[in-house]
Amino acid sequence: MAIVNMSNFSLFTFHSERENLLHELQKFKYVHFSNLNEDESLKEIGLKNVEIPESLVEIDEEILKAKYIIDILSKYDQRETGIKAMKEGLDTYDFIELEKKAESIDYLPIYEELRGYNTKKEALAQEIQTLKTSIDELSPWVKLDTPIRNLYSFKQSEVYMGTVPKKLRERLKMDLLETKYTYFEVISEDKENIYVLTLSSKSEAEIIMEMLKNNSFSEVKLNIQDTPGEEISKYYEKIKALEHDVEECEKQMATLIDNLPKVEIVHDYLLNKKLRIMAAENFLRTEKVNVIQGYIPTDMEREFTQVVKSAVDNVYYLEISEAQRYDPMVPILLKNSKFAENFESLTAMYALPRYNEIDPTPLLAPFYLIFFGMMGADLGYGILMLIGTLFVLKKFNLSEGPRRFIKFFYYLSYSVIFWGFLYGSIFGGIIPFPIKALFNPAEDYNLLLVISIAFGLVHIFYGLSINAYIKIRDGKFLDALYDVGFWYLALIGAIGFLLPMVIDLPAIVKTISMVIMIIGMAGIVLFGARDAASIGGRIGGGIYELYGISGYVGDFVSYSRLMALGLSGGFIASSINMMAGMVAEKGFIGIIFAAIIFIGGQLFNLGLSLLGAYVHTIRLTFVEFFGKFYEGGGVGFNLFRSNTKYINLK
């Protein structure tokens, strides 16, 4: 239950063996490559970057083709979605099974056939769109019942068709009154323009054109023969025929839907194949030899050595040594109990530990469990959580990540049930509690506040003790005394000094506590800034460190949220019950609405309570707890596998 011990390795193999080596290492999975391109000292001695083979371009093209198939066929996918899809889950393969399955699938003919249909479909769609645009252009002229070819066949007349802004309609009419041999008609209009037709004698053509220009005329040329209405009817007939062709293309593409699961397998395999090729970017080379460095879990050294040996036919040079504890580049892999591993996401959310630190996951898990339950604190809510998470875990085929997330709330449900039992709360009191509860939140809020602060004391002191443990483990005994021991004395002494103001205690307790507090504070002032260059700097820095005691006061008060959120959730639930009860008194219809209010309100409060408990417990963990001993900043161990989308890869 800790950070997995790591060993670093240096491996020299012939360039010709690299592809097979990477293939076998990807099966092995637990190898993290170091990027040697960042080490200038190695380049100074003549090592060069490894050239990525052209096969990477081919892999990218294959991935694009597979993605092309998936994107198109997904539109016709009839497989279950939503809850049913989650229940069925994704198919699971190990790497060897995935490789065999993917290499047995010839997806390129599917791609070519699908591309042909889709290209034809897109061309048809473009032609349909062109026809619709033509219809839109002709629609304003649909009332014109004269064939267009006839309008342009006059020898002694000129025809002008176009648009004029609506606001200039009357001015244009007044101008045209001055002509003798001109016919003018408004065919249609829209919000901004009128569509006009003028038929004029050639003798007045220049005058008419000048008038039209003065009225912002924009000429329209209709490149058709028949009337606009007849042409539009032809276009609609063409569109209908083209849409039928589109439907035929759709039907043909839909017949290929059975290939979708196969291509999804190919896609995820190709991603891993690409990762395998790109891994060489981390290596350096001589003319014939590749230089590879990285990390493996220490307990897998023998298995790793065997994989390398078999992959390169026993022609290699390999050095493996224990990773340096204070090396910031050592990748972090966590290994915890079945209970604690479900809380690893919280650690990762903050920051992975560095290799010289300890894994805080098993340390935070019990407190997170207790605090979450105290904030949720309802027997009914806890039972719903327990039933819901158990159902999902039993009935749903989940991948590792989602399964851990559900198990996380499964364990938390027990704490919510436990605290709900202590509070005697079942859905805010809608069901009478059969026995006397240990706490009555409406009356014992002061006691609950004291308990919350007491939890805070334990939590913070525990965090300080972990800090002391780390320093003692590393042989820094005096640092443990200076940075933790004196704070223990100062805080315990301060608590003992102030406690007699609240409860009756012998006078000697206050005296002893004051002495302890003074010793602790003096130690903080003298040694809190012990690295300062001068005595004045040490004292000044120590005083500033001692000022940090005010931060501890804020930390202790912060734990009052344990009481506050538990009470607020209970009061909201009680209010919902009260509203439902008032509505239920209105008769049969009232009972129906009361049921809706109760179910909807309680579900809303359940979500609100769980969200509040989740966020605020994280806050107590990250700020008050981690702030006492944990820095983080570790580099995650990159398994030699690509994240899959359509399958689960073991």
Write out pLDDT tens, residues 318-337.
999 999 988 999 999 999 99
Alpha helix segments (H runs only) across 29-54: 40-44
> Within 13 A of 596's CA, how many CA atoms are on the CB side?
7
Q: Can you tell me the distance from the alpha carbon of 185 to that of 637, in angstroms, rounded to the nearest whole number?
A: 79
Model confidence at 635, in pLDDT bands (50, 70, 90)? very high
Q: Can you tell me the distance from the alpha carbon of 566 to that of 580, in angstroms, rounded to the nearest whole number?
A: 21
CATH 3.30.70.100 residue ranges of the chain are 146-226
Number of neighbours of residue 301 by Cβ within 10 angstroms: 15
- What are 557-600's pLDDT values in tens digits? 899 999 999 888 888 888 888 888 888 887 888 888 888 988 89
- What are 486-531's pLDDT values in tens digits? 888 988 888 888 877 777 778 888 888 889 889 988 888 888 777 7
DSSP 3-state assignment of 372?
A: helix
Model confidence at 441, in pLDDT bands (50, 70, 90)? confident
Pick the CATH number of 146-226 from 3.40.50.2300, 3.30.70.100, 3.40.50.360, 1.10.760.10: 3.30.70.100
Enter the pTM of the model.
Answer: 0.82
Over 80: is that where the pLDDT of 480 sits? yes
Q: What is the largest CA-CA distance in the chain?
A: 126
With vertex at residue 620, the alpha carbon angle to CA 615 and CA 626, rounded to the nearest 5 degrees, is 120
Element (H, E) at 48: strand 48-49
Model confidence at 639, in pLDDT bands (50, 70, 90)? very high
Q: Do residues 172 and 160 make contact, with C-beta atoms less than 8 angstroms apart? A: no
Range of lowest pLDDT (123-127, 195-199, 482-486, 540-544): 540-544
Rounded percentage of the chain residues whose pLDDT exceeds 70: 100
- The torsion defined by the Cα of 435, 439, 442 and 445, in degrees rounded to 10, comes to 180
Over 70: is that where the pLDDT of 1 sits? no
Q: What is the pLDDT of residue 358?
A: 93
Handedness of CA 368, 371, 373, 375 (dihedral sign): negative
Q: How far apart are the first and last CA of the chain?
A: 22
Rounded percentage of the chain residues whose pLDDT exceeds 90: 55
Over 70: is that where the pLDDT of 418 sits? yes
Over 90: is that where the pLDDT of 554 sits? no
> Mean pLDDT across the chain, nearest whole number?
89
Q: What is the pLDDT of residue 319?
A: 95
Write out the DSSP string of 212-272.
HHHTT-EE-----SS-HHHHHHHHHHHHHHHHHHHHHHHHHHHTTGGGHHHHHHHHHHHHH
Q: What is the pLDDT of residue 389?
A: 95
Considering only CA atoms, which of 388, 380, 384, 344 is closest in space to residue 363? Answer: 344
Distances (CA, A) of 214 to 159, 169, 184, 382, 434: 17, 12, 16, 80, 93
Q: Can you tell me the distance from the alpha carbon of 445 to that of 563, in angstroms, rounded to the nearest whole number?
A: 7
Written as six digits, the tokens of 408 are 């996380």
